[in-house]
């Protein structure tokens, strides 16, 4: 398992599995999103506060590469790092590993922030929190 800025452990629940008994592909997006939100909270970023300030954080691109499957009851870890993509974009680099350390998924979730006028804007508090 790689050394990441943030890690969050999970356990697969029965209802997240499809007819084949493996985690449904769309469920992985939920795992990634929950880990990103927890990561942001550790950085002091609160979605409600950002919205009140007129800054909305949005996902503009999601790239997922499935490597192996998870099954009901499996435990796993979601790793989160963040990179600067451009002046207005950042990317969460996220990997999922099973309890044996085997890579399950590689993800890149690119986002930006939109100000109250609907224009892309990366506010200083995000740049500072991300260290980018």
The catalytic site residues sit at: 18
CA quadruple 94, 100, 104, 106: dihedral sign: positive
Instruction: Give the dihedral of Cα atoms 26, 3, 1, 65; nearest 10 deg.
Output: 30
Task: Return the number of other C-beta atoms located less than 10 Å from residue 14's C-beta.
Answer: 9
Q: Burial level of 82, CB count in 10 A (0-12/13-18/19+)? A: buried
């Amino acid at each position: 398992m790689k050394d990441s800025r943030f890690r969050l452990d999970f356990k697969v629940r029965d209802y997240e599995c499809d007819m084949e008994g493996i985690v449904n592909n769309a469920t992985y997006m939920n795992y990634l999103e929950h880990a990103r939100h927890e990561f942001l909270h550790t950085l002091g970023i609160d979605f409600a506060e950002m919205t009140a300030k007129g800054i909305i954080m949005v996902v503009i691109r999601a790239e997922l590469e499935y490597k192996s499957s998870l099954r009901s009851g499996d435990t796993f870890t979601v790793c989160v790092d963040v990179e600067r993509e451009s002046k207005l974009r950042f990317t969460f680099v996220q990997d999922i590993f099973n309890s044996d350390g085997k890579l399950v998924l590689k993800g890149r979730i690119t986002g930006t922030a939109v100000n109250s006028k609907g224009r892309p804007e990366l506010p200083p508090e995000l740049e500072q929190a991300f260290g980018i």
